[in-house]
Amino acid sequence: MAEKEFLLGNRARELLRYTNQATRVVSDDVSLTDVQKIIRRISELDDIREVRSACSQIIHATDRKKKEGFSRSKYRLYGEELRMIAKGIVRDIHSANNKHFATEYQQRLDKIDDILDGCTLMLEYIQICFDEHIISMKKVETWTKKVNDVKYMAASWRKNDGGRARKLAAEEQTAADKRQYQIATSACRDAIRAAKQGY
């Protein structure tokens, strides 16, 4: 793997790790054991003010609206897809890098395009998750930076390889045109020779 592609691969792995962490499910369910502990704790309190304080703490701790993260349903809706996209980006970087440029340049460019598409889609999902109050602005900023690090490096890779690919394609077209010209010239010579010989 070339040095820049190696760095891009590292950034993509970092993005995947962060995505896995950022999309963890924050459970909104309270277990039966937790409820029993809470009731036991409240029953041991003597002062009504302590009971109210304990109840207030419990309400605060179980208030889903104050927890940042994915519920199970939001994870299935967005989180799972975000993880799949991040894995796809890592896979596409390796796939693109494994293409032999001299003979498979178009396949490499297609894979780099897939990387760029994945980054764009991730950014859209991150914005949706923020709009739906699933993640905080701080998380949006961190996550967006990680996606953009990969996206900008992939775009640079695409630009460099795109120029090289156009040059190779032009050389291939010139060689193909030359072969066609030689075939046509040879066919004309053969026809003229045959005509002169009276065939």
The Cα–Cα gap between 42 and 192 comes to 109
In degrees and rounded to multiples of 5, residue 116 shows phi and psi of: -65, -40
Q: Where residue 1 falls among pLDDT bands split at 50, 70, 90? A: very low
Q: First-to-last CA distance in the chain?
A: 61
Tokens of 68: 């940042």
Tally the C-alpha atoms within 13 A of residue 167's C-alpha that lie toward its C-beta: 8
The Cα–Cα gap between 162 and 105 comes to 9
Q: Which of 38-42, 86-90, 154-158 has the highest mean pLDDT?
A: 86-90
Q: Which residues 6+ apart lie within 8 Å of 69 measured at CB?
A: 24, 25, 26, 134, 135
The CATH-assigned architecture of domain 3-28+70-168 is Up-down Bundle (1.20)
pTM for the predicted model, two decimal places: 0.66
pLDDT of 162 > 60? The answer is yes
The DSSP 8-state label assigned to residue 133 in this structure reads T
The better pLDDT of the pair 127, 185 is held by: 127
Q: What pLDDT shows up at residue 131?
A: 94
Q: What pLDDT shows up at residue 34?
A: 66
Tokens of 97: 């890098």
User: What's the mean per-residue pLDDT of the chain?
Assistant: 81
The Cα–Cα gap between 96 and 8 comes to 12
Q: What pLDDT shows up at residue 115?
A: 95
Tell me which residue of 121, 67, 71, 119 sits closest to 92, measured CA to CA: 119
Q: What pLDDT shows up at residue 13?
A: 94
All CATH 1.20.1440.60 domain ranges in the chain, comma separated: 3-28+70-168
pLDDT of 3 > 90? The answer is no
CB-count burial class (<10 Å; 0-12, 13-18, 19+) for 110: middle
Q: What pLDDT shows up at residue 121?
A: 97
- Average pLDDT, integer, range 162-179: 64
